[in-house]
Structure 1
Amino acid sequence: MSVSPSLSGPGAAPDRPAARALLRQLGGVALALGLLGGGYALVAQVAGDRGIAPTAASADIEVRGISVDVTGDSAEEARAKGWREAQRKAWAKIKGPKIGDSQLDGLVSAIVIEQERLGPKRYIATLGVVLDRQRASGYLGGAQQASRSAPMLLIPVEVSGGTYTAFERRNAWQRAWAGFNPGASRIDYIRPSGAGGDSLLINFGQTGRHSRAWWRSTLDQYGAADALMAFARIDHQFPGGPVNATFTARYGPDSHVLESFTLTAAGPDEVPAMLARAVVQMDGIFTGALVSGKLRPDPTLRLGGSGEVDPAIARLIDIGRAVRERAEAEAAAAAGVAPRIEAQPVTGAETGEAAVRSIVVQFATPDAAAFDAALGAVRGTAGVRGLAVTSTAIGGTSVMSVSYAGTLEELAGALEARGLTVRRGANALAISR
């Protein structure tokens, strides 16, 4: 009697058809696991607790770091006197005119306690004072609204232990910016939370890219006109010891350096307070750059997807060509040579280009930030040749006149493509977010 050799026996010849079938099954399982693993890896890049939403996004005017040290007949009276003194100091800090305490009470919407020590008859504290912007602007003459920047995308980058981190994971520098209230700032910050696709679109690598097309695509996702980069290099001297930090303010697709400064914390517990001070100081640098005229949206970011140059830049190019041709003609005339004249295409007058027409656009403006965001969104729409604000109503509906190369329906479609809600009317549109 003969015995068939076993697959597992030594020197046995395997059953080849059965082996091939088993290998095919194992290969299919491995492929399925690979696909599932790849999908999991893709989801893992945007999943998890990586976002920190801005906790202070009020349009009110917030003045922080007001120190008071007062006494009273009781603890309650000392606290009331301390809060009243903080209100006066905050009002003086923003250069408000002289008004009575009762009027000032009507402007203050909140008192923020940063630190306080309360005794039987003494009150020592560091406070923040929040003023209602709409009510206070009547006394400030609109100075707090003057010359606000275009919408700027903020990219905070923390450098620690040789690792550069933006929104790839939560970090202390991102948290410090999330806690900053930009209500009193003249910079219109757009602060992503870092959740979802933010970590893919905005990372440290983005700050080193120079491609205008790449930047334009990223900025369009957030309705921004340009970008600000806030770098924080944090160096721990030794575990539990002092912490030194170097902060650098940059802006634009070419990462131009504005200014750098250093701060020191006595220990790890004081790092959050140090970063909060750094945010305020960096906001001052950005504001100073705005006042000096440095902080302007890069004109090369206005290049459309079709490669069409901004009309203002095209006009300057045409003027330069005309000046050069005139100089060449004068030189040729002086030499007695007949100048050679070539036909040059005129920008904005090509055959078949749509006529430029004026279209009225209404837009909701609950605050100054919404006003600037709406202007930035419309100005960055392809085909828009210019715009002029004909009516401004902060807290209501403002009106602009848009010069557009195309029809009203084409403009409506272009605005909808930028994520705006559009309602159509008779030679007029109404937009909102």
Structure 2
Amino acid sequence: MTLSFPTSGPARRILIVGTVLLALLAAVLLARGLTAQVEGDRGIAAVAGSSDIEVGGIKVDARGDNAQEARENGWREAQKKAWAQLKGPAMPDNQIASMVSSIVIEQEQIGPRRYIATLGVIFDRSRAGRYLGGNAQKTRSAPMLLVPVTISAGTEMVYERRNPWQRAWAEFNPGTSAIDYVRPSGAGGDSLLMTFGQTGRRSRTWWRNVLDEFEAADVLVPIAKLTYQYPGGPVKGVFTARYGPDNTYLDGFTLEAANPGELPKMLAQAVKRFDGMFESALAQGKLKPDSTLSVGVSGTDPALLRLIEIGRAVEAREAARRAAAAGETADTVTDPAATPTAAPTVAAVVNSYVVQFASPDAGSIDATLGAVRSTAGVRGAATSSLAIGGTSVMRVSYAGSLAELAAALRARGFNVNQGSNALAISR
């Protein structure tokens, strides 16, 4: 059977309009699909910074004329009990309240005129520290990016949606810890940048881009594998601590919750054990930042770059001297005063240019960055915008003009399109 399509008349116009509408519909659906990857309530901000002082497990039983007043009375009682546990000096309730940065609700029961709860009180160290005396400061680690992984029902998850393991780390207060945790909220693009697959990636270039985004020196990966025995039954947790771009194993342990309602308490306990393991690893020298992650944006040691520049300057002077000697022989110059002298070497001005490049996958990003960095005259190259499957952007430091950079990249095998102050390259 032969299919025929109209080539003219109303039928052809209908076909064209239908095709355009289908294309527009596909574009709208694609845009909504891309937006859905980062939309929704998936971010949980850390409730306490590393400078705060937390006192947890405070039990209160307060009453009031209504539920709201009973709760406020309970919180004031918790603040006073927490301050007493810290052995702070006697002071009015409003002054104690002024030093409280937040209240953590561990468990609460609210009645019409009664409030029973277990609370945690977090004091701001800058305001409360002066009254509590100076404690010896621990040697703190370099900033460590935290990537909490949850494995449950055969699915690995980090920030794709809110989960109890992420919340447990967000509610953890590292005020007295020796580890300087960098805890992303998981909102926006965090869920695309940090995934379970990222923990198994070995590319230092890729990891350096991720760590630079959060101003961290290395990465810690606490993994919680949760197994639900049956609906409403016990929950078994197998916990594993890993660190670094090589996903190095540190230690592990197992806990069990009697039911899903006890899961938050078990995860809070696991977080404290993880913190202890990380502190122990730091004391043993295992958490030293990977030197391959602290290289400058050019990917080359600065001392080596300086040696390369000195070598190029010496080579230029030698070339000028040989050219002068060759000219003197050809012209049979006999007057020493007429002998040309080598012109002083002038340091090239290093400029910064924007270069766009196609990035279908992570491997192509690494390959393109490596090729650009090894181009003659390039002093450094680092990505400023990443788009897997699209067009990424890098900032290139080059000792020369934009036209010279374009010529150098063409010599490296790139197809180059030059704009007003930017280049677009492809293979």
Q: Same fold per TM (> 0.5)?
A: yes
**2 CA distance for matches of 1:170 and 1:112?**
18
**1 CA distance for matches of 2:104 and 2:161?**
29
Alpha carbons of structure 1 residues 50 and 259: separation in structure 2 relative to 1, 3 Å: same
Deviations 1:239-293 (A, max 9, x none): 1100000111111111111111111111011111111111122112112222222
1:294 partnered with 2:286: yes
Tell me if the contact between 2:251 and 2:277 (Cα under 8 Å) persists in the aligned partners: yes
User: 1:170 Cα deviation (Å)?
Assistant: 1.4
Counterpart of 2:232 in structure 1: which amino acid? G
Aligned to 1:153: 145
**1 CA distance for matches of 2:134 and 2:6?**
93
Return the TM-score normalized by structure 1. 0.58
Aligned length: 297
**2 CA distance for matches of 1:222 and 1:268?**
33
Aligned to 2:351: none
Tell me if the contact between 1:157 and 1:204 (Cα under 8 Å) persists in the aligned partners: yes
Tell me if the contact between 1:51 and 1:195 (Cα under 8 Å) persists in the aligned partners: yes
Deviations 1:26-66 (A, max 9, x none): 22211121222222211111112221222233622213236
User: 1:348 Cα deviation (Å)?
Assistant: 8.3
Tell me if the contact between 1:302 and 1:310 (Cα under 8 Å) persists in the aligned partners: no
Counterpart of 2:154 in structure 1: which amino acid? G
**2 CA distance for matches of 1:99 and 1:56?**
20
Deviations 1:299-327 (A, max 9, x none): 1102334230375xx79xxxxxxxxxxxx
RMSD between aligned residues: 4.1
Alpha carbons of structure 1 residues 288 and 136: separation in structure 2 relative to 1, 3 Å: farther
**2 CA distance for matches of 1:60 and 1:136?**
9
Tell me if the contact between 2:204 and 2:292 (Cα under 8 Å) persists in the aligned partners: yes
User: 1:99 Cα deviation (Å)?
Assistant: 8.2
Gaps of 5+ in 1: 1-12, 70-78, 92-97, 316-344, 355-381, 384-433
1:219 partnered with 2:219: no
Deviations 1:78-116 (A, max 9, x none): x99998776565x4xxxxxx887679x998945867458
**1 CA distance for matches of 2:283 and 2:191?**
32
Aligned to 1:195: 187
Alpha carbons of structure 1 residues 291 and 68: separation in structure 2 relative to 1, 3 Å: farther
Aligned to 1:33: 25
State the SS of the aligned residue for 1:231: strand
Counterpart of 2:8 in structure 1: which amino acid? P
Gaps of 5+ in 2: 62-74, 314-345, 348-378, 381-427
State the SS of the aligned residue for 2:148: strand
Aligned to 2:176: 184
Tell me if the contact between 1:213 and 1:305 (Cα under 8 Å) persists in the aligned partners: no
State the SS of the aligned residue for 2:288: coil
**2 CA distance for matches of 1:64 and 1:169?**
27
Aligned to 1:270: 262
Aligned to 2:320: none
Counterpart of 2:298 in structure 1: which amino acid? S
Return the TM-score normalized by structure 2. 0.58
1:56 partnered with 2:48: yes
Deviations 1:106-164 (A, max 9, x none): 9894586745899xxxx998554545534665666442x32111111111111010000
**2 CA distance for matches of 1:36 and 1:85?**
57
**1 CA distance for matches of 2:19 and 2:6?**
18
Counterpart of 1:27 in structure 2: which amino acid? T
Alignment map for 1:55-74 (pairs within 5 Å): 55-57=47-49, 59-65=51-57
Counterpart of 1:265 in structure 2: which amino acid? A
Tell me if the contact between 1:228 and 1:252 (Cα under 8 Å) persists in the aligned partners: yes
1:304 partnered with 2:296: yes
**1 CA distance for matches of 2:248 and 2:269?**
23
- Percentage identity across aligned positions? 52
Aligned to 1:376: none
State the SS of the aligned residue for 2:265: helix
**1 CA distance for matches of 2:279 and 2:142?**
12
Aligned to 2:227: 235
Aligned to 1:165: 157
1:47 partnered with 2:30: no
1:17 partnered with 2:18: no
Alignment map for 1:316-395 (pairs within 5 Å): 350-351=311-312
